Structure 1
Amino acid sequence: MMMKYFVLLCVASLALAEEKYTDKYDNIDLDEILDNKRLLQAYVNCILDKGKCTPEGKELKDHLEDALQTGCEKCTEAQKKGTAKVIDHLIQKELPIWRELTAKFDPEGKFRKTYEQRARENGITIPEE
């Protein structure tokens, strides 16, 4: 009986582990990307199918829509913090990029409102469209 319980626990743990996105790129230097307009634009071009993708850019592109729609429920803690940092940065300093991304991935504006409200709560002023 104990062995069955152990096996069930292991299977459940694996199922839960598979629910998260890979943590392979969790240590990427987001500040380096956000502070470098050319590097940031390369990632944006990848995500918008306008340019080549690095392996980490492809990983981001593959999961971005799902992450936005689910509130990043499959994200690791590092990914949740990074997502908030990137979204806040885009809203505050790269609004045209934010709007281009949301136009593609959230044309109805359902998720954009949530993220922009959170940004406002963090003291970020968002100009009216």
Structure 2
Amino acid sequence: MRIIYAFLVVLACGLASSEMTEEEFYEKVFEEVDPDFILDNERILNDVLEIAEDMTQEDMEFYTRVFEEVDPDFILDNERILTSYLKCFYSEIECNAHAEVVKKSIPNVLATVCGRCSDKQKGIFKYSLNKFIPAHPKDWERILSIYDPTGEAWPKVKEFIES
């Protein structure tokens, strides 16, 4: 039900059509949704946050497919979008739906070195970190200070991304 509601919110914003496939829907949303538009529109922001808060395990599994369908370069190569994600991860701003799923996944992904990830997700994880860390070392240190404060996960993650 929440997925349908999210779709209706996006339809109301004029970003999708009812004829779209699920893949087209996500492609359109992640390419064209301006996080600031959602953050600046209280009604839409409240709807999105309510959806994120009420996600069931089934919804979470559904959204994990997003990790395989979103082009990491789209986020990593766009400073405005990347900054929005980082501020979400630092809990400085409210997160968009995709960033919220990523944020909630970070502790487990680091602790298990993407142990629950599919092979495709592991490849995306490795690629993303190998691109992000050299370009944004201070941001990576900050992420680790929040999500791996004891420093236990980082050596294993580093070994994985260097393999």
Equivalent residues of 2:110, 2:157 under 8 A apart: no
Per the alignment, residue 156 of structure 2 pairs with 114
Equivalent residues of 1:23, 1:76 under 8 A apart: no
- Percent identity of paired positions between Structure 1 and Structure 2: 25
Mapped partners of 2:92, 2:115: distance in 1: 28
Mapped partners of 2:139, 2:131: distance in 1: 10
1:110 counterpart SS class = coil
Per the alignment, residue 67 of structure 1 pairs with 109
Task: Say which of 16, 28, 52 aligns to 2:70.
Answer: 28
Per the alignment, residue 143 of structure 2 pairs with 101
Q: Deviations over 1:11-33 (max 9, x none)?
A: xxxxxxx8x95213421011111
Instruction: Looking at secondary structure, tell me which structure has more helix per residue.
Output: 2
Q: Cα distance 1:73–1:117, how it changes in 2: closer, same or farther (>3 A)?
A: closer
TM-score by length of 2: 0.56
Paired letter, 1:29: D
Per the alignment, residue 37 of structure 1 pairs with 79
Superposed displacement of residue 118, structure 1: 4.2
Q: Unmatched 5+ residue regions in structure 2?
A: 1-57
Mapped partners of 1:90, 1:113: distance in 2: 17
Per the alignment, residue 50 of structure 1 pairs with 92
Runs of 4+ in 1 over 2 A off after TM superposition: 114-119
Superposed displacement of residue 105, structure 1: 0.6
Mapped partners of 1:39, 1:62: distance in 2: 18
Mapped partners of 1:58, 1:107: distance in 2: 20
Per the alignment, residue 121 of structure 2 pairs with 79
- How many residues of Structure 1 are paired with residues of Structure 2 in the alignment? 103
Superposed displacement of residue 34, structure 1: 0.7
Equivalent residues of 1:91, 1:116 under 8 A apart: no
Structure with larger Rg = 1
What value does the CA root-mean-square deviation take over the aligned residues? 2.0
Q: Deviations over 1:96-128 (max 9, x none)?
A: 111000010111211112233445x46xxxxxx
